[in-house]
Amino acid sequence: MAAIILYGAEWCGDCRRSKRFLNANNVEYTYIDVEADESASEKVIAINGGQRSIPVILFEDGTHMTEPSDNDLKAKLESLSIL
């Protein structure tokens, strides 16, 4: 499994945008569809304090981002020396 995990759903525009950003920058990640995996959906809800907001992106340093902008995601990846 990749060091970055993206929880999302195919119908989610923000999820598609984050996936596009990661793909365009050749960032390896594991995608988990919360619609297909009930335990993933429950994990997202737990991470977000009861909300099912997606995408949720987990990083190897133990942090996460929920619904990040491309600029915020870029800054995080740069801070981890991934970009």
**Domains (range + CATH), the chain:** 5-79 (3.40.30.10)
The pTM is what? 0.93
Measure the CA–CA gap between 54 and 65, rounded to whole angstroms: 9
User: In 10 A of CB 6, how many CB atoms?
Assistant: 21
First and final C-alpha spacing in the chain: 19
The whole-angstrom distance between residue 12's C-alpha and the CA centroid of its chain comes to 12
The predicted-structure confidence for 7-31, as pLDDT tens digits, reads as follows 999 999 999 999 999 999 999 999 9
The predicted-structure confidence for 37-69, as pLDDT tens digits, reads as follows 999 999 999 999 999 999 999 999 999 999 999
H or E, element range at 21: helix 13-24
